[in-house]
């Protein structure tokens, strides 16, 4: 289900795969090899994939700093007990408030971490906001996160969750899509896909992230998930998930 672009990393495809296993969830073996036990940051901690990642990282003994976006007008009232009630969370989960609209808001969460998993993504599936606004938020937010990683001097690897939509629309008749495949934004626009600029946002963000990493020698792995689906962590045994 997950693929990865190894271009900006010295890792082979096999090595990249070790960062997140096919289910999209880190395994004990892979994380020990990659990061060692330490403090890692997960952006977009409330999300579907991120909350599973946090669950597994905690199980495996990591201290996790999860960034969460406060909803306007509900600061302090947001129920994230599905994260804070996880086993080990009391001792090992820290919640930080950060928003892609304020890239520097991620600095505090990233300072001192050995690894960063960047999953926060501004969904705009119904195009409520202008495309340019969402691109700016995603690209500048991501570059801000990468800058914080660089400045930290402690982050050894960053894993950015990109999307299959960054490779699907190349406009070429490619039978095999590997790490060399990229969505051609002009071609995608010519398809007149209604109400979804996500492939454009993700393609621009991943390209910008890889360029930044190459320029600054940052170890960045980008993952290319297709469709990640399944139960949410509220369904874990022993959790109360309905009222």
Ligand X SMILES: NC(=O)c1ccc[n+]([C@@H]2O[C@H](COP(=O)([O-])OP(=O)(O)OC[C@H]3O[C@@H](n4cnc5c(N)ncnc54)[C@H](OP(=O)(O)O)[C@@H]3O)[C@@H](O)[C@H]2O)c1
- Three-point CA angle 98, 107, 66, nearest 5°: 50
The answer to the question of residue 32 lying near ligand X (CB under 6 A) is no
Q: Give me the sign of the Cα torsion angle 65, 203, 167, 130.
A: positive
Measured from the CB atom, is 9 or 203 closer to ligand X? 203
Paired with 64 in beta bridges are 40, 93
Considering beta carbons, is residue 13 or 123 the nearer one to ligand X? 123
Cβ count within 10 A of residue 228: 16
The alpha carbon of 19 is separated from its chain's Cα centroid by a whole number of angstroms, namely 12
Return the residue of 18, 47, 115, 144 that touches ligand X, per CB under 6 A.
Answer: 47
Residue 152's closest CA among 38, 33, 17?
38
Q: Residue 100 Cβ, how far from ligand X at the closest point, in Å?
A: 4
The answer to whether residue 161 forms part of the interface with ligand X (CB under 6 A) is yes
Query: Judged by CB under 6 A, which of 120, 146, 149, 200 binds ligand X?
Result: 120
Residue 39 touches ligand X, criterion: CB under 6 A? no
Measured from the CB atom, the residue of 50 and 58 that comes closer to ligand X is 50
Please pick, from the candidates 122, 147, 149, 220, the single residue that binds ligand X as defined by CB under 6 A.
Answer: 122
The minimum distance between CB 137 and ligand X, in angstroms, equals: 6
107, 124, 142, 163: which one binds ligand X (CB under 6 A): 163
The answer to whether residue 203 forms part of the interface with ligand X (CB under 6 A) is no
For ligand X, which residue of 39, 86, 100, 145 counts as binding (CB under 6 A)? 100
**Interface pick for ligand X out of 17, 121, 147, 157 (rule CB under 6 A):** 121
Residues of this chain that interact with ligand X (CB under 6 A) are 44, 46-50, 69, 99-101, 119-123, 137, 161, 163-164, 225, 227-228
């Amino acid at each position: 289900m997950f693929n990865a672009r190894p271009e900006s990393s010295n890792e082979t495809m096999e090595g990249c795969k070790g960062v997140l296993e096919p289910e999209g969830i880190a395994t004990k073996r892979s994380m020990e090899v990659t990061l060692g036990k330490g403090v890692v940051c997960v952006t977009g901690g409330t999300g579907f994939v991120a909350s599973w990642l946090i669950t597994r990282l905690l199980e495996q003994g990591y201290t996790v700093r999860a960034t969460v976006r406060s909803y306007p007008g509900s600061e302090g009232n947001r129920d994230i007990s599905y994260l804070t009630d996880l086993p080990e969370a009391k001792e090992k989960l820290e919640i930080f408030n950060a928003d892609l609209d304020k890239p520097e808001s991620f600095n505090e969460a990233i300072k001192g971490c050995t690894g960063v998993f960047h999953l926060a993504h501004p969904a705009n599936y119904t195009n409520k906001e202008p495309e340019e606004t969402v691109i700016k938020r995603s690209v500048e937010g991501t570059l801000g996160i990468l800058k914080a990683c660089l400045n930290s001097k402690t982050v050894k690897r960053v894993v950015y969750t990109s999307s299959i939509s960054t490779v699907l629309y190349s406009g070429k008749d490619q039978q095999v899509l590997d790490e060399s495949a990229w969505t051609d934004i002009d071609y995608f626009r010519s398809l007149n896909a209604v109400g979804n600029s996500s492939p454009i946002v993700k393609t621009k963000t991943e390209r910008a992230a890889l360029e930044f990493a190459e320029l600054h020698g940052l170890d960045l792995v980008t993952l290319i998930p297709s469709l990640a689906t399944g139960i949410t962590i509220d369904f874990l045994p022993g959790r109360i998930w309905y009222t």
